[in-house]
Structure 1
């Protein structure tokens, strides 16, 4: 089953959702701002993405700039910051089995569906 971690207020996330809808494949939507991810769930997602935790951070968010920018942080501390402030998580994230992609640009989603 394909899963999209989605923020309905984000244009790029809506584009990713539309691409999945057009694919005709079954999928589930996780609105991660409403149903926050646990530390272990986010760590598992990062592992599937094959990126460093910092690569999943939206660094232009005000909370990042005011609370975290310029600080030396461990990977676990960065993950904890995203768990505490889910707006920091890049979106959308699409998972298909053991594979995952950040859907920016949306055609990255096609690599795993």
Structure 2
């Protein structure tokens, strides 16, 4: 089943959700600020996305700039930061089987549905 990691306050995430709704396919919504992914789940998502953990971080978030910017962090430390502060996770993330994309721009979601 298709899964979207969604933040209702984010316009790109809402646009991604609309693409899924219009697709007519079944999907599951994970509001990741409420149901925070574990470190293991984030590692799985990052592997599906085929990116480095730092590429999933919202580097313009104030908390990132204040706490982490300019520091040498391991992949494990970056993942731990995203679990502790989930608003650092880029969104929306859509997973369909063994494929995943970050919906930025939202149209990239169409590639995997």
Q: Same fold (TM over 0.5)?
A: yes
Count of equivalent residues: 113
Distance in 2 of aligned mates of 1:12 and 1:66: 24
Distance in 2 of aligned mates of 1:10 and 1:107: 15
Distance in 1 of aligned mates of 2:106 and 2:94: 10
**1:39: which partner in 2?**
39
TM-score, length of structure 2 as denominator length: 0.99
TM-score, length of structure 1 as denominator length: 0.99
Alignment of 1:1-113 (within 5 A): 1-113=1-113
Distance in 2 of aligned mates of 1:98 and 1:63: 32
Structure 1 spans left out of the alignment, 5+ residues: none
Large movers: runs of 4+ above 3 Å: none
RMSD: 0.4
Distance in 2 of aligned mates of 1:23 and 1:107: 12
Structure 2 spans left out of the alignment, 5+ residues: none
